[in-house]
């Protein structure tokens, strides 16, 4: 049966969070705090990111602002403008990183596209996300692309209504319990959880059962066995 497959982008189709983690490692080395461990600094940054996401959203530019705020809060030396520029450059380099499509993704999308209606559903800065879609070369497999500020149950409800999808024939596929699986199930859709070992810590949650079906796979390529 032909179905609607809504597919996440970052860390589902291509690598993303590894570049943010590398930027954090550079930040931690530059901060050179006398007593705080990397985990402790990361916890402070997580708090800042959680608070700022509501206002500034996601993406490398927002991450740069978060690093700057974290540096201003934790630096044990005079905060100079040159230091702040250096801190924000760690995030700016994320855009320069090569886009790495996850193994098996292109072949799987090529298999799924003629059989089902594919929608790419991602959150973040619109221009940054569009750039990644263009660089990936995967946009040709999708009949529709939607970029939103937050992927919550309300966002899924709007997408389903706008695209005329039937909830019981609609599946959300992604690596994030917080943005992909739980809100889709809450909205009455089905969901496919494809874990990624480098999923951002703030995207991790316990999976909460909903009205729809839940399928858990090891790899994106395993979709070919179910769809």
Quick one: pLDDT at residue 56? 82
Residues of the chain with pLDDT under 70: none
| Interval 129-184: pLDDT, tens | 999 999 999 999 999 999 999 999 999 999 999 999 999 999 999 999 999 999 99
Same fold, 4-14+100-225 and 17-96: no
Quick one: pLDDT at residue 70? 97
Question: Beta strand 170-174 with 144-148: parallel, antiparallel or unpaired?
Answer: unpaired
Quick one: pLDDT at residue 95? 87
1.10.150, 1.10.1740, 1.20.120, 1.20.1270: which CATH number matches 17-96?
A: 1.10.150
CA–CA distance, 207 with 25 (Å, rounded to integer): 29
Neighbours of 101 (CB within 10 A): 15
Quick one: pLDDT at residue 54? 79
Quick one: pLDDT at residue 202? 83
Quick one: pLDDT at residue 156? 97
Q: Where are the domains of the chain?
A: 4-14+100-225, 17-96
Question: Beta strand 4-7 with 170-174: parallel, antiparallel or unpaired?
Answer: parallel
Architecture of domain 4-14+100-225: 3-Layer(aba) Sandwich (3.40)
Q: 36 is written with which tokens?
A: 């705080």
| Contact call for residues 159 and 6 (beta carbons, < 8 A) | yes
134-138: long-range pairs with CB below 8 Å, 24+: 135/99, 136/13, 136/14, 136/99, 136/101, 137/101, 137/106, 138/13, 138/14, 138/101, 138/105, 138/106, 138/109
The partner residues of 147 in beta bridges, in order of sequence, read: 122
Quick one: pLDDT at residue 201? 85
């Amino acid at each position: 049966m032909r179905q609607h497959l809504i597919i996440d982008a970052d860390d589902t189709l291509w690598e993303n969070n590894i570049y943010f983690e590398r930027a954090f490692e550079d930040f931690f080395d530059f901060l050179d705090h006398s007593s705080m461990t990397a985990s402790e600094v990361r916890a402070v940054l997580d708090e800042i990111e959680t608070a700022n996401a509501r206002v500034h959203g996601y993406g490398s530019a927002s991450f740069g602002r978060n690093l700057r705020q974290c540096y201003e809060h934790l630096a044990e030396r005079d905060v100079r403008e040159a230091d702040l520029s250096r801190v924000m450059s760690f995030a700016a380099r994320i855009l320069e990183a090569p886009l790495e499509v996850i193994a098996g993704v292109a072949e799987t999308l090529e298999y799924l596209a003629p059989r089902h209606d594919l929608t790419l559903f991602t959150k973040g800065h619109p221009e940054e996300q569009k750039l990644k879609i263009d660089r990936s070369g995967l946009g040709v497999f999708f009949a529709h692309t939607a970029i939103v500020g937050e992927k919550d149950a309300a966002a899924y409800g709007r997408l389903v209504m706008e695209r005329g999808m039937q909830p019981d024939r609609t599946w959300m596929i992604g690596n994030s319990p917080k943005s992909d699986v739980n809100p889709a199930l809450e909205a009455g859709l089905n969901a496919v959880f494809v874990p990624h070992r480098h999923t951002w810590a703030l995207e991790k949650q316990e999976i909460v059962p909903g009205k729809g079906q839940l399928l858990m796979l090891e790899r994106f390529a395993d979709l070919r066995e179910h769809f």
